[in-house]
Structure 1
Amino acid sequence: MSRLLLCRRSLVRVLAFLAIAFSPLVALAQAQWPMTVTDAVGRQVTIPAPPKAVLLGTGFNLVALSLIHPDPVSLLAGWSGDMKADNPEIYESYLRKFPKLADVPLIDDGSGPGLSFETILTLKADLAVLANWQADTEAGRRAMEYLESTGVPVIVVDFNNEVLKNTPDNMRLLGKVFEREEQAEDFARFYEERLARIRERVAGSSEPGPKVLMEAFPAPDRCCWAYGAGGLGEFIAITGSRNIAEGALPRPGGMMNAEAVMAENPDVYIATSSPGGKYSGFSIGPGVTAEEAETTLTESVDKPVMASIAAVRNGRVHGLWNFFNAVPLNIVAAEAFASWLRPDLFPDVDPAATLAEINRRFAAVPFEGSYWISLKK
């Protein structure tokens, strides 16, 4: 009996020690909630408890969550159908991994102008995540006011405006809100290390990069909606190259007529589009083969204005998935630009290897398909 009593006393001491040792950690975890964060547009938002029923204002933000959470669909109370409408191949890949995605209610029709208040009323959400471009619209502002009036906090994230600066910080924001800080920090550092490599090499070169035209969704009957300095246009500037639309068009971009393009005579041409060529004859992105991307890009530059510029004559024609401007995978796009525009500075940069590492280390659902392409000379 005395030996049994001794064992019990020892066990009590061990348990007491563990309780003392871990009590600060428990207190720290409890102290995080309610949590106040600063979102992408500088708003102070207080979230009362760990979110478990989230509304996504754009379906593309499921990609961001999937880079830090093993089952992002388990967090959703509702989401937008825009990713499903614009890039059904990505939706299908998530659906195969997470069949419950099919049961998540849609809070809009996928067109993106606003949210259905009637649908939101039926959902017991504890957080909404909107994109910056939604927060900038009248419909978005009304949705934010409505959600907050019903006790649902709203945070805004930004993966398409000043992306080089904003992407790592927005991943850290999501990591904090969803208690995945370690995973978010790993991805943010992964992003920043590759970005620093590009900046440092360009800064060390005295040679300027080429003149570039980047056209969104090329069509045979018009020329040309060109990216300006914003969004994916930032990846031209970071390589030390000159975007021929910068200064001539608003920051997001706009229409540039054929005469202006021919007068600038760009050295490099980059087209952006989506799978199946929904808005253009050019097809590229998730679920697209390299052969399809190359064939449709070849057809897209087969028009008089393109045949006349140096980029096409010299075989410096490239294509890119347009929706890199909506997801934190855009570091892959930055590396593609570096290898296309400054091959002398970046012979060892391999965006395919970077995407493979993202798939291996971070992605809950692997990203497969042809996201960038170069025409053979």
Structure 2
Amino acid sequence: MIARLTRIAKQLAPALLALALLQAAPAAAEPVTVTDLAGRTITLPGSAKRIVLAQGRQLNALGLIHADPASLLAGWGADQKRQNPDAYARYAAKFPAIAAIPTVGYGATPESFSFERTVSLAPDLVILSLSLAGTRHGPSDLVERFEAAGIPVAVLDFYLQPLRDTVPSLRMLGKLIGRETQAEAYVRFYEERRELIASRVRGADRPSVFMHAHAGGFDCCQSPGKGTFDDFIALAGGRNIAIDMIPGATGQISLEQLLASDPAVYVATGGLHLAKSGGLVLGLGISQEEAARSFAKQVARPGISALAAVRNGRAHGLWHLFNDTPLHIVAIEALAKWIHPERFGDLDPQATLNEISARFSAIPLEGALWVDGAAKPKP
């Protein structure tokens, strides 16, 4: 009997060993297929692990759905460090390896991007914005060149048409990096906040709003036209006065035009990039006192100080870099409170920002990202 059992065990041993090895082996990666904003179908053999972010600022979106977004980067655009130094500093403090990630360009135009450098990094995915894909600054052949080189490329965007493109871009990004659950959680949060605002402004009058972009850093007055911040103003229940004066996404109107329009609400935008020029300083790590002082300087400038919005306490400041991140839902909440204070007395944009910081963001989101006319600088 014992001999028979021994023979059976010997016969079964190879099969049992094969079964054990099969169970121990990692599951084969499932192909990933998405449709990007250009209507193209992209299929990867598995989740992307070596990404080139052609525009570095899209790290701010990646960091909402991945706890260590820097670990995915084979290369990125230098614009994050140059244009968004406050966020870059926080990423660098938490993820020191970010300083060694190769750069592949420095701006949002095809001419500022290095195709050859990107190919040399052997990424498994390149992510282009709509601007780099050629829909804003003229024709671009970057998509075709990457396809010819056998490198998958996806087009997503959070800037040009944010209310149209943010949700599909987040879902696409989540699927490409194997973070669908995390992306969907942020999408649900985002859409709930967005619908709350939309529901409360239905049927409301639309006060006139002027958004003074990069306030204090340039001659008066740069402003958003179609898309970008105009989308935020519209959702918040306002009417952007520059929409009929500026044909593109951004442009400039004269101080005389601004004074003649005399908007009901004035919103200046600023950031750390304006500190040296004496402009409006807002951003991660900026104190409320510093923000209030720089804001007071802006609204005291000749011409600006004559606006009824300033005299009536309806002048405000907003972080300019809300314009290229899904964090913009916080900016829309702030705008809604300023444009329709009678409808949004209970809305708390700071609580929304705190929740995003705690639940989603790879870095802490602390600092003065907005200031309103009631803010007074400390002596």
* TM bin (shorter chain): 0.7 to 0.9
Do the aligned residues in 1 keep the contact of 2:83 with 2:273 (CA within 8 Å)? no
Superposed CA deviations along residues 235-276 of structure 1, whole A, max 9, x for unmatched, are: 211122221112222241321112221121111100112214
- How much has 1:161 moved relative to structure 2? 2.2
2:237 pairs with 1:240: yes
Of 45, 48, 52, which aligns to 1:48?
Answer: 45
**2:310 touches 2:373 (CA, 8 Å); kept in 1?**
no
- Residue 89 of structure 2 corresponds to 92
8 Å Cα contact 2:227-2:249 kept in structure 1: yes
Contact 1:275 1:285 (8 Å CA) reproduced: yes
Is 1:129 aligned to residue 130 of structure 2? no
Contact (CA 8 Å) 1:159, 1:166: kept in 2 or not?
A: yes
- Match runs of 1:78-89 below 5 Å: 78-89=75-86
- Residue 193 of structure 1 aligns to which amino acid in structure 2? E
Pair 297,195 (structure 1): closer, same or farther in 2 beyond 3 Å: same
Asked if structure 1 preserves the Cα contact closer than 8 Å seen for 2:278 and 2:294, the reply is no
Per-residue CA shift, 1:14-69, capped at 9, x if unaligned?
A: xx9xx99xxxxx6xx74x41x33111222222223321111011111111111111
Q: Tell me, which stretches of 5 or more residues in structure 2 are unaligned?
A: none
Per-residue deviation, 1:198 = 0.4
1:315 to 308, 313, 316: 313
| Cα drift, residue 140 of structure 1 | 8.0
SS of 1:245's equivalent? helix
Q: Distance in 1 between matches of 2:89 and 2:174?
A: 25
2:35 paired with 1:38: yes
Q: State the 1:111 CA deviation.
A: 7.3
**In 2, Cα distance between equivalents of 1:111 and 1:151:** 23
Letter in 2 for 1:370: A
Which residue matches 1:72?
A: 69
For 1:117, give the aligned amino acid. Answer: F
Change in Cα spacing, 1:209 to 1:50, as seen in structure 2 (3 Å) is: same
Does 2:156 align with 1:160? no
1:55–1:76: 8 Å Cα contact kept in structure 2? Answer: yes
Assess, with a 3 A threshold, how the Cα gap between structure 1 residues 124 and 335 changes in structure 2: closer, same or farther. Answer: same
Match of 1:326 among 302, 324, 327: 324
Aligned partners of 1:59 and 1:83 also within 8 Å: yes
For 1:353 and 1:339, the matched residues in 2 are separated by: 14
Counterpart in the other structure of 2:105: 108
Matched-pair identity in %: 42
- Equivalences for 1:366-377 in 2 at 5 Å? 366-376=364-374
State the one-letter code of the partner of 1:72: P
TM-score scaled by length of structure 2: 0.87
Question: TM-score, length-normalised on structure 1?
Answer: 0.87
Aligned match of 1:218:
215
Contact 2:108 2:131 in 1 (8 A): no
Shift of 1:128: 0.4
Q: 1:274, 1:363 → 2: CA distance?
A: 20
Q: Which stretch of structure 1 is more off in the superposition, 211-220 or 153-162?
A: 211-220
Contact 1:276 1:284 in 2 (8 A): no
Sort the Cα spacing of 1:193 and 1:111 in 2 relative to 1 into closer, same or farther, 3 A: closer
Distance 2:267 2:129 in 1: 26
Write the deviation string for residues 121-170 of structure 1: whole angstroms up to 9, x where unpaired: 43121100111122126798233333222211111111012212321221
Match of 1:284 in 2: 282
Determine the structure 2 residue equivalent to 1:352.
Answer: 350
How many residues get paired?
A: 360
1:60 and 1:83 in contact (8 A); partners too: yes
> Can you list the C-alpha shifts for 1:67-101, whole angstroms capped at 9, x where unaligned?
11111111111111101011222111111111111
Deviation at 1:179, TM superposition (A): 1.0
Give the whole-Å Cα distance in 2 for the aligned partners of 1:242 and 1:80.
34
Aligned with 1:95: secondary structure? helix
- Whole-Å Cα distance in 1 between the matches of residues 235 and 244 of structure 2? 16
Residue in 2 that maps onto 1:301: 299
> What residue number does 1:23 align with?
none
The one-letter code of the counterpart of 1:306 is: I
Structure 2 distance, partners of 1:276, 1:200, is 35
Q: Could you say which residue in structure 1 is the equivalent of 2:268? A: 271
Pair 1:103–1:140, CA change in 2 (3 A): farther
Which sections of structure 1, spanning at least 5 residues, go unmatched? 21-25
Separation in 2, partners of 1:361, 1:160: 23
Match of 1:227 among 204, 216, 224: 224
Equivalent residue of 1:188, what SS?
helix
Pick from 332, 353, 359 the counterpart of residue 361 of structure 1. 359
CA gap of 1:138–1:317, structure 2 versus 1, over 3 A, is closer
Q: How does 1:182-261 map to 2 (within 5 A)?
A: 182-203=181-202, 206-219=203-216, 222-261=219-258
Residues 1:111 and 1:193: Cα distance change in structure 2 (over 3 Å): closer
1:141 counterpart letter in structure 2: S
Give 1:182's aligned amino acid.
Answer: T
Q: How much is the aligned-residue C-alpha RMSD, in angstroms?
A: 2.8
